[in-house]
């Protein structure tokens, strides 16, 4: 089964969340854990491992009136007031684990109206169990110093 997590950098915050599937198959980012870019790699690796494991959940598909506030926990975790403020300098790296691989997927920030788009040419593939190595790569990508 594929497990998926997400990491964001907003200012000096490192935010780890995970993706769950709705009963209709849509992926939603949930349960952000705010850390700092200076958090030790072992602690970040533990947070990522927990997020990946938690991503195996399936939840009820949100009703129409539930959609508006779904990303609000990430905005609060970043310590900003709005989605626009979040997107001002946010950097995103997706994290997928399946089979024996861990894929780190950098994204390009297109602003608050367009969101993020993946950069397939910059994907980094590591062994599935190398979470500490993944944290080093993620921090480099979030610092703008990827491979």
How confident is the model over 6-16, as pLDDT tens digits? 999 999 999 99
Q: Helix 41-54 to helix 131-142 angle, to the nearest 10 degrees?
A: 100
Cα-Cα-Cα-Cα torsion 126, 132, 134, 138, nearest 10 degrees, comes to: -170
How confident is the model over 101-118, as pLDDT tens digits? 999 999 999 999 999 999
- Report the mean per-residue pLDDT for the chain: 93
Q: Is it the case that residue 63 has pLDDT exceeding 60?
A: yes
pTM above threshold 0.85:
yes
* pLDDT at residue number 112: 93
Q: Confidence class of residue 146 from pLDDT cuts 50, 70 and 90?
A: low
- Beta carbons of 23 and 59 less than 8 angstroms apart: yes
């Amino acid at each position: 089964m594929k497990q998926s997590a997400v990491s964001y950098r907003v200012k000096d915050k490192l935010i780890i969340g995970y993706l769950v599937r709705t009963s209709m198959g849509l992926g939603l980012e949930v349960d952000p854990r705010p850390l700092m870019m200076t958090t030790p790699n072992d602690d970040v690796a533990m947070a990522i491992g927990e997020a990946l494991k938690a991503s195996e959940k399936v939840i009820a598909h949100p009703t129409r009136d539930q959609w508006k506030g779904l990303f609000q926990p990430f905005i609060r975790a970043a310590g900003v007031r709005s989605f626009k403020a979040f997107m001002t300098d946010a950097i995103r790296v997706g994290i997928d684990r399946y089979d024996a691989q861990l894929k780190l997927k950098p994204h390009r920030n297109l602003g608050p109206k367009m969101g993020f788009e993946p950069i397939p040419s910059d994907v980094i593939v590591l062994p599935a169990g190398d979470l500490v190595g993944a944290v080093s790569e993620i921090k480099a990508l979030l610092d703008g110093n990827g491979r």
